[in-house]
Structure 1
Amino acid sequence: MALKLSFSIFSHVGFKRYLARASLAILTTLGVLGHVAGMYEVPYIDQIENLLYDTRVRLTAPGGTDDRIVIVAIDEASLQAHGHWPFTREKFADMMNNLWDYGTAVVAFDVLFAERDESADVDLLRVLAEQEGDEAFRQKLDAFEPLIDRDRLFAESMQNGPTILGYYFDSNEETAFETGQLPFPGFELHESMMESVYLPRGAGFSSTLPVLMDSAYTAGFINNPLIDPDGVVRRTPLLHEFELGVYESLSLATAATFMNDISIPVFVDASTWMGDYPPLEGLEIAGTGARIPIDPQGAVLVPFRGPAGSFPYVSIGEVISGTVEDPGVFDGRIALIGGTAPGMEDLRTTPFGSIYPGVEVHANVIAGILDNSFRWEPAYTAAAEMITVAAFGLLSALLLPLLSPVISTLVTAVLGLAALAVNFYMWDVVQHVLPLAMTLYTLFAIYTINMLFGYFFETRSRSHMDSLFGQYVPPDLVKEMSRDPENYSLASQKRELSVLFTDIRGFTTISEGLDAGELSDLMDEYLTPMTRIVHESLGTIDKYIGDAVMAFWGAPVFHPHHADQAVGAGMAMLEALDELNVDFQKKGWPEIKIGVGINTGMMSVGNMGSKFRKAYTVLGDAVNLGSRLEGITKMYGVSFVVSEDTAHSAGRFVYRELDKVRVKGKDHGVTILEPLGLEEEVDPEVIDRARQFKHFLFLYRSQEWGPAEEMLHKLLENEPDCFLYKLYLDRIAHFRENPPGEDWDGVFTFQTK
């Protein structure tokens, strides 16, 4: 059943049109795969991808406040309370001492201390001592100067607990220089690995004073060379290479210190089977075994908890002065010192907006390390994206050309939702960030190609079909034909069809009683609803022959139930005529009556005529019989006559058999019947009388004139004005005087058309 349905749809669409659409869609998919493979770039895709990434970050951020990390903010209030930036190291020493008193576990600085904090008072005293030549005073000054050395005071305060300092690397060889002292690298690389390790590489650095670095637990770099081209911070490196040494970021160093552990690089030997696959694929926290996935550049996607303010903030001024309202907020926590004041130029753009403190970016990364909650883009992400694009692209490329526009829209929407579901599963469950833009772009592009192709093709086809069949068939039928024009032509062919003829009785008398204008109006009001009925039943108007209408069903669009359609149209015409006569009476026009004849059989259909004029019409004996049937309706006093072939094909209706006739020019008799209506709508008494009349015909053809006549009289009791019954009474009287002979076949022969 499924194969049969598929074949039917495929043949309807047409192989050539399907192949054109599918090929164009497959080429589009291949073009998208070229972008994914890095062969070229499709404009604006990166921007769309970033937008989709930012949206997913915002929608899935856990929210809430993580109180394990407290941000000690260098804010506007602290600048007003303690003077301009930078503060003296003495103030930082006071801050450190208070933080240790509060029970802080780790203190980390998103701040650079590259210069000494020189005391202007000491410098002035030394100048005076030199000028006066007071050697004793100078010796005392040398003895007391260490006691008022602010850098030393700050350094000594660090030694009371684990302190992480900040520094940064400069990757620009033209501007880079080296100042300060670097911490020991986390690990070192061999020169042979430099071609396959893609960590950010420093050409120089600006680090902390040696006196401070020597007192600190360790240090981490605070710069981020991996900000996206649109200026948004989405990822940040945990590792940085400098002269074969690999250094930890402030976030990594702080988290490892807080966990009292170290990070170990995870290498994979991929040289023999994965080509350029980077050997460094992660970091492992030694004590817990938790693995931090990193990309080829040693970076992680920042696991944003939410918008700015997702961590508790305390003003640095309050910590320096020891006036923190709730010191318990620091107990056992990480204190992260960084600038939040606008003038300190440490505000970043993130998926949550353009005003996001850089220090809170570090806090998010630290929390991600503590929770091991990083989403990641491994080196095989491009391959995974190619598989996804190819799968959805080929599925839509092969499927959409088979479907109507509405179904194509629904299927594309379903495929889009499926792509979103797969992507969200990878994002939320597997923690794998699979690019989404190119998959959606592929679906949209293939959908658009099919819609545009269908629109232009259908417009052209509809115009062509309209020029061929527009004058014969209704617009809806032309639209259906335009979907598959290869199956329709004006060429003549043999086909079983049903043909209908109607004619106004006494039209000559009617036309003589009306002037030309009234006659034209009457014909217009009569032919319009008749034509509409033909069109609504999917019939084809062959021609108007004066007051007569000729129509047929089953061509140019084949329908297996064309006989049902034709009989239904004939019944509808008679019903419409009753309403028309009411309007005609109001206008003073004469009442009109029509005869309807229908036959079903093999006919020649096509564009026929001469070189000067052609028409799409039907020809053949079956057509001629249909015309004869309309002509003999008045002979039996009925409005509607069909042949036995039509009645057999249109089995939904109830019929009354009228006679067996031999029309002029034919040797064989044909059973003719009168349609009474749909079986479920006809009165049971009417059906019963039709059965009685059929029994009468049996008696009549058996030449049992007495019983036949008796049955007719019984039928006349219920229908005293029935012309048909009186017709047969006259025939019986005739045959009694002129017996037809023993070889009579019961067929009545008409000598005229």
Structure 2
Amino acid sequence: MLIAALALRISDPTPVELLRLKTFDLYQLMVKPPDQPAQAVIVDVDEASLNRIGQWPWPRTLMAQLVNEIRAKGAAAIAIDILFPEYDRLSPGAMADMLAGDDAAMAARLKALPSNDEKFAEAIAASQVVLGQAVHQSKNTQWHAEAREQTGFAMVGPSPDAFLDTYPGLVRNVPELEHAAAGLGLVSVRPDIDGIIRKVPLMLKADDRVLPSLGLDLLRVATGESTILLRSDEGGVTSVVLSGVILPTDESGHAWLHFRPHNPDIFISAADVIDGKLPDGILQDRLVIIGSSATGLFDLKATPVDAVMPGAEIHAQLVSAMINGNLLQRPNWAPAAEVILTLLLGLSMILLIPRLGAAWTLAVGASAALAVIASAFWLFAEKGVIFDFVFPLLATLIVTGVMVVMGYLNEEIERRQIRAAFGQYLSPELVDQLAANPEKLVLGGETRTMTVLFSDVRGFTALSETYKDNPQGLTTLINRLLTPLSAAVIRQRGTIDKYMGDNIMAFWNAPLPDEDHAGNACRAALDMLSELEALNIARRTEIGPDGLPVKPLQVGVGINTGQCVVGNMGSEQRFDYTVLGDSVNLASRLEGQTKAYGVRIILGEQTAGLVDGRFATLPLDRIRVIGKKEPEEIHTLVGAADCLASPAFEALRAAHMAVVEDYRSQRWSDLEARLAACKQAAEPFGLEGYYDKIAARLEVFRKSPPPSDWDGVFEATSK
């Protein structure tokens, strides 16, 4: 298992990496950075500036004015976190090209004027400005021939090229601007796999050259240095040295930042600068980064402490961290130390479990884990070192868990078999009880009084025909329907027996006793209707495969209680836990009669008797279903106890019982007089269809009356 754990570390799958990164975030959230002054100010092309001056891009003459104003306020150096890869479309020359065919004289006069880019270049040359560049995934030859020499790195140690993030192309600014700049730096910052920025590259390899970041070159220009020292060893980059200050990095040359929350105090609106509204001294000897927090310019990032932070502020935090000396460290030796710690902890668990047992070993392991976590936080808080304690502890936990599981394997075999057999159609509570008492399952079955439920989708054949060219869509719909209906059964302690296409068969009072099996089945049926209503609401705006709006799904539910045989039935090699008996067949027949009676739930006589006084039920008819000799008094389930106690149901029940009495006594005139009022009272409960069915039967009886000794039993002609 230790070998597998080490292989896990080497492969470093996404879940492990994410867990490690979230641990590093936890460091940042729990340990605040030192209280030190911000070393960079951001001149922000914010929403207010765009509203005041106009949409982006601004004319280069306006950018020149912005740079000149910042220089006039005494800024030590300026970095621009904005790229200018194309000439200004508002330059006089560009306007002249547009007018050349219409007004040659005006075009000539415009051609004679200096370009906006020249004015911007003059402002850049008059200041200490670092322009931004960006890496590109493809070779970019634009401005390649005119490219100026960029800041060089002096290398100490073996070449780190194999460790550096490398890109084939580079997005440059127009040549006039780059030649006027005091420095050029990369603005590119790549987030981790979860989209969060945790570290900033101090250098990247792009266009076959090692190039500095925007913040690093800003610091170089401000200190007057001409080169940057890059130190490396066999494990990659170790640090960058600028003006005698050592800046720690990881092996790829990235600087880990101890992020601070977004600080609005370091932001100055670009509009205020252009309008000359800044007080004297606010930019004196400061490092200034021109960037944007405007949403429409898409330079907003996520950090461990802020879901949204302007990209310019990340560069500003890097500059402050380099000057204040509080960059975090992820030393090249850290991964090796983490592997060694994994081996020590894993071997300790392997040696201790056979001697101390699982409980004591877990206690010792928990203590060791707390010590490792505390040490890791101490390293972060006191030394600024980022150490991954998650992988060693996770690997040790896996090793320990496997050994403990192996110790209990023999005891778990039978329980796992039970869970595998019953987990999909029993509630977790019942599965747990069965796993603890496997002797309650008897191959061959036993006789019990049980309640059985059948549900079926009405009109499923017609519905299936609309999906004849899309069987996968039909499967998706059935799964979408059966999932919540099954959940309703399981919530009420029911057992899912089987699925037959769109049909669900479930039962209660087995495999474990259920004193209120009839009541729980009724609750499940009502829950199923609620789940179906929610599904129909969700599908209300959907379009079916025939191009028409989908119709609401309807189900019929039949519930019956009686003696059944239940158990594992089949062979020793394969069996199903199921229920058989005449009561089961009757439940299926009752479900089939729901459409004939215009109701959604039909209860058998014994079920209705068991829930009488606790649920709102109404007698429907005395019926002899196909295949049965004895008639059955059937009822419909209207609602739960709250419905039973409602005045509306009490009124309906009184009117309904009069209808039933008139029907069975063959008082057809009285029956006809009551039906309309009864139907109106039934509308809130969705039962008006039942009275339509009785009215239709009344017409038949008037033409062909039943015999005088009729016992009120209706002979069903369909299943």
Residue of structure 1 aligned with 2:238, choices 255, 258, 281: 281
Residue 336 of structure 1 aligns to a residue whose secondary structure is strand
1:317 matched to 2:271? The reply is yes
CA shift digits 1:325-368 (9 cap, x unpaired): x4433222111111111111111122124312111111121112
**Structure 2 residue aligned with 1:349, among 285, 294, 302?**
302
Rg larger for: 1
Give the match's secondary structure for 1:397.
helix
Alignment of 1:420-435 (within 5 A): 420-435=373-388
- For these two proteins, the number of residue pairs brought into alignment is 412
| 1:215 paired residue number | 180
Runs of 4+ in 1 over 4 A off after TM superposition: 120-134, 137-143, 180-183, 192-196, 453-460
Asked whether the equivalents of residues 65 and 312 of structure 1 are also in contact (C-alpha less than 8 Å), the reply is no
Distance in 2 between the 1:195 and 1:107 partners?
30
Contact between 1:182 and 1:208, CA under 8 Å: does it hold in 2? no
Contact 1:64 1:310 in 2 (8 A): no
1:322: how far off? 1.4
Corresponding residue for 1:438? 391
Aligned partner of residue 223 in structure 1, secondary structure: coil
Q: Distance in 2 between matches of 1:223 and 1:407?
A: 51
Question: Does residue 1:59 correspond to 2:24, yes or no?
Answer: no
Structure 1 pair 335–211 and aligned structure 2 pair: CA distance change class (3 A):
same
* Deviation at residue 422 of structure 1 after TM alignment: 2.4
- The secondary structure found in structure 1 opposite 2:205 is strand
SS of match in other structure, 1:317: helix
The match for 2:338 is: 385
Q: Deviations over 1:276-324 (max 9, x none)?
A: 533x432111x3x2212223322222331x1222761111111111123
Tell me by how many angstroms 1:41 deviates: 4.2
1:231 alignment partner in structure 2: 195
Partner residue, 2:123: 157
Residue 433 of structure 1: how far off its partner (Å): 2.0
Answer yes or no: is the 8 Å Cα contact 2:33–2:258 preserved in 1. no
Instruction: Give distance in 1, aligned partners of 2:219 and 2:196.
Output: 24
The C-alpha deviation readout for 1:573-621, integer Å capped at 9, x for no partner, is: xxxxxxxxxxxxxxxxxxxxxxxxxxxxxxxxxxxxxxxxxxxxxxxxx
Mapping 1:155-554, distance limit 5 Å: 155-173=121-139, 176-179=140-143, 182-187=147-152, 197-224=162-189, 226-267=190-231, 277-278=235-236, 280-285=237-242, 287=243, 289-304=244-259, 306-309=260-263, 312-324=266-278, 326-403=279-356, 406-449=359-402, 451-453=404-406, 455=408
RMSD: 3.2
Q: TM-score, structure 1 length as denominator?
A: 0.50
**Are the equivalent residues in 1 in contact too, given 2:349–2:361 (CA < 8 A)?**
no
Relative distance call for 1:124 and 1:389 in structure 2 (3 A) is closer
Deviation (angstroms), 1:412: 2.2
Larger RCO of the pair (alpha carbons < 8 Å, separation 6+): 1
Residues in 2 aligned to 1:315 and 1:426: alpha-carbon distance in whole angstroms = 39
- CA spacing shift, 1:183–1:349, aligned 2, 3 Å: farther
* Separation in structure 1 between the aligned mates of residue 219 and residue 95 of structure 2, nearest angstrom: 44
1:303–1:365 contact (8 Å) kept in structure 2: no
Whichever residue aligns with residue 201 of structure 1, its letter is: T
Given residue 258 of structure 1, which amino acid in structure 2 is its aligned partner? A
Matches within 5 A, 1:613-628: none
Distance in 2 (alpha carbons) for counterparts of 1:296 and 1:83:
44
Name stretches of at least 5 consecutive residues in structure 1 with no aligned partner: 1-27, 271-275, 461-753
Shift of the alpha carbon at 1:158? 2.2
C-alpha distance in structure 2 between counterparts of 1:153 and 1:170, whole Å:
28
Contact 2:89 2:95 in 1 (8 A): no
* Displacement after TM superposition at 1:52 (Å): 0.6
Q: Report if aligned partners of 2:168, 2:208 keep a CA contact under 8 Å in 1.
A: no
State whether residues 36 and 324 of structure 2, in contact with CA within 8 Å, keep that contact through their aligned partners in structure 1: no
Secondary structure (helix, strand or coil) at the match of 2:196 reads: coil
Letter in 2 for 1:228: D
Aligned to 2:639: none
1:422 and 1:319 map into 2 onto residues whose CA distance is 48
CA 1:120–1:65: 2 relative to 1, 3 Å? same
Q: What is the correspondence of 1:586-601 to structure 2 with a 5 Å cutoff?
A: none
2:177 is paired with a residue whose SS is helix
Give 1:386 deviation, angstroms.
0.9
Distance 1:262 1:56, change over 3 A: farther
Equivalent-residue separation in structure 1 for 2:235 and 2:91 (angstroms): 56
Give 3-state SS (helix, strand or coil) of 2:135's partner: strand
Q: Evaluate the alpha carbon distance shift between residue 43 and residue 356 of structure 1 in structure 2; reply closer, same or farther with a 3 A threshold.
A: closer
Structure 1's 183 and 382: CA in aligned 2 closer, same or farther, altered over 3 A?
Answer: farther
The match for 1:45 is: 16
Question: 1:167 is aligned with what amino acid?
Answer: Q
The letter of the residue matching 1:31 is A
Label 1:132 to 1:395 Cα distance change in 2 as closer, same or farther (>3 A). Answer: closer
1:647-678 deviation line (CA, Å, top 9, x unaligned): xxxxxxxxxxxxxxxxxxxxxxxxxxxxxxxx
Instruction: Give, in angstroms, the shift of residue 159 of structure 1.
Output: 3.0
1:511-535 Cα shifts (integer Å, max 9, x gaps):
xxxxxxxxxxxxxxxxxxxxxxxxx
User: CA contact under 8 A between 2:240 and 2:246: conserved in structure 1?
Assistant: yes
Shift of 1:205: 1.7
